[in-house]
A and B are shown apart, each in its own frame.
Chain A
Amino acid sequence: MFTRILKLEWKSFFRSANFTKGIAIKIFLTFFALYLMVCFAVLGAGSYFFAAKAVPTVDPLLTVCKYIVIWFLVDLLLRFFAQKLPVLNSKALMVIPIKKKTIVHYLLLKSNISAFNIIPLFFLIPFSVVLLMKGYAVTNVLFWLLSLVVLIQVNNLINFIINKSNLYFYVIVSVLVIGVLLQYFNFYDVVTPVGDLYFSLYKQPFFVLVPLGLLLLFYSINFKHFLQHFYLDDGVLSKKEKVVTSSEFLWLNRFGEVAPFLKNDIKLIWRNKRPKMTVIMSLVMLLYGLIFFTNSMYTEGNSVMMVFVSIFITGMFLMNFGQFVPSWDSAYFNLLMSQNISMKQYLNSKRILFLISIGLLLVLSLPYLYFGWKIGMLLIIGGVYNAGVNVPALLYLCTFNKKRIDLAKSPMMNYQGMGLAQWLMIIPMMLVPMGVFSLANYLVSFNIAVGVLFCLGVLGIAFQNYIFLKLVNVFKKRKYAMVIGFQQK
């Protein structure tokens, strides 16, 4: 029976939308995965030497063991957010003559194939190899490695137990914070006794029985739980329904005919995880300036990075959210196209949303004035350039978007909707302004160079209505391709 389910799984993997994605995304994802692997491998191999150098008097393995507990707790936190029990096809399997027990066993085993369980191996294995090369006892190292791998599995299973209640989340955070505080202010050395525990797994190979026991315990707890709750309306398969609080956003009515869309876009952003993430990222990226604006290497020289950061900070929402216009509306695109609205109104609402975002981010970045007027001026130029050049450029690139986005899906590692437009975006956003600036800066001066960017922005704003009407026509032509593309799941 297991092999049959595995065959299904094989098909679901190779026929999934993710796998049939464009070649560019595949390459990007492969590189990203390789990058992560190399990072962890280097970290794994390097930790031994790093620990030996940092604390020369102590066995480096013991030093590393001390920090494993922090890693495990953070791992649990990340899992809490991102890892869910895989339940995808189980609804169809429920009514087919397969034992429930088999399905539950299968789901629990399947949960093992997850980046959370695989990536640590890229750390642990190189680290163990270094240990062996440094003359640690072979059996002890292997059993230590085995113990840790088993403990990662235990973490995997604990996550499914605590996932049901936010209470556990706060408990873990509290333990972590209290531990770090105790350690930091030298009240109590938390990591040493815990580190000793992990170290004893090396000292006494038969201690591996403890992690194995834990694994067995948590597996059976999970198994019993899921078996009991394997019903459509019960925890495993049902999704939580939220009670909605509606809001009116009446103040947006001043925007006239585009007001309904602006209200709708705010609800879209507020009520769906992935668009919400783009806003959070835009706010986090406001802090990006701290790296550059506090560093005299950038502020005193006439660095191109200053221009880059100014455009980046004020245009973050434009890039993050704007790149997937109109894919955000893909689920109900047919409605918008057949309702009593013109393409012009629809696009204008997006344009106004972008302009509002640039204005807001500019206001929010005002505290940077603390670092001087020059930075304030650069931010304003960044904002003007974004409004004049990047808004129409992005709207044009959006006409190439014809991939559906499922709003209900989690934003973690979600590349739905990625296509050519997302890659071409780099040209107006980064290459053009940085190129123009560098050239003018090289030929004339810094002030002229930023002046040129400012003028480009002003020109864009001056001709915006003309450009906008052209864009509406391009959109009208591409509408049919979008209607078809957005229906493909």
Chain B
Amino acid sequence: MIVSENISKIYNNNTVLKIDNFEIKKGQSIGLVGNNGAGKTTFFSLLLDLIQPTTGTIKNNGIVVSENDSWKNFTSSFIDESFLIGYLTAEEYFYFIGELREQNKADVDVLITQFSDFFHDEILGKKKYLRDLSKGNQKKVGIVAALIGNPEVVILDEPFANLDPTTQIRLKEIIKELTQNNAVTVLVSSHDLSHVTDVSDRIVVLEKGRIVKDLETNAATLTDLEMYFSN
């Protein structure tokens, strides 16, 4: 589904990302882990064509992301609060995203009622602007919005951070459901090793912009990762 060839990003002679060849199969769920500055967000930004690669290309379902916009039809993402519109209420934001993804109000309503337990009665019908919600609640809104419109690729940067335990567990279920029938490709980055190994079929460890480990998840993966990061 996603193929990156010889991709690199260099800022002032400082290589922040350099990945030779990397491929993600359709329906895979990928966990990206690495310490701060490893290049996780840079990789996502390249994939979303928010920054330009210094070398190489990324293809999303065969489309070179920097040349053609049509990957946006089936790709959705939540990276950070710059994906939220602060002066809208949660419902207005969902409907706005729905309109962009050709979903009518009823479709969006069906989707968000599935996540009512996700929201703990703290978000819907509160008549509050998104900018006045807490960080955790903002994150929940962003994650749910990224699921609107049956995307085939979902990109979530640090989705577990700032979430309460109940929602973390629910989010793990959601990600597992998405990838169950190999229909949706999910890319998740996280600093929480146990959560990310729980939800991913494959874990990619980045260090200083390079892939240092690429593992199929199995029972020993978490211990492996803990060993790796404790050194």
Contacts and interface: CB of A to CB of B under 8 A. Distances in A.
Interface in A311-359: 331-335, 337-343
A408 interface: yes
Query: Helix, strand, loop or mixed for chain A's interface?
Result: helix
22 contacts: A241-B128, A242-B129, A244-B89, A244-B127, A245-B127, A246-B91, A246-B127, A259-B99, A268-B87, A271-B87, A334-B80, A334-B82, A335-B82, A335-B83, A335-B85, A338-B48, A338-B75, A341-B100, A343-B69, A408-B86, A483-B51, A487-B82
Contacts, number: 87
A268 B79 CA distance: 22
Interface in A242-301: 242-246, 259-260, 263-264, 267-268, 271-272
Interface residues of A, number: 33
B92 A267 contact: yes
Contacts of A480: 50-52
Interface in A457-489: 480, 483-484, 486-487
Nearest to A476: B69
Interface of A: 241-246, 259-260, 263-264, 267-268, 271-272, 331-335, 337-343, 407-408, 480, 483-484, 486-487
A241 B132 contact: yes
Contact of A264 (B49, B91, B96, B149): B96
A264 B89 contact: no
Contacts of B128: 241, 243-244
Contacts of B57: none
Given A267-B88, A334-B83, A340-B73, 4 more contacts: A342-B69, A407-B87, A480-B51, A483-B51
A264 B96 CA distance: 8
In the A-B complex, the 5 residue pairs with the closest CB atoms: A260-B99, A335-B83, A338-B48, A271-B87, A334-B82
A317 B57 CA distance: 41
B50 A338 contact: yes
Contacts of A337: 48-50
Nearest to A263: B96
Contact of B82 (A243, A332, A343, A407): A332
A260 B97 CA distance: 9
A484 B51 CA distance: 8
Contact of A340 (B49, B52, B72, B79): B72
B101 interface: yes
Contacts of B48: 334, 337-338
Nearest to A239: B132
B50 to A, nearest CB: 5
Given A339-B100, A408-B131, A331 B89 contact: no
A152 B40 CA distance: 55
Given A246-B92, A337-B49, A271 B129 contact: yes
Nearest to A260: B99
Contacts of A244: 89, 127-129
Given A243-B127, A244-B89, A264-B96, A335 B84 contact: yes
Nearest to A244: B127
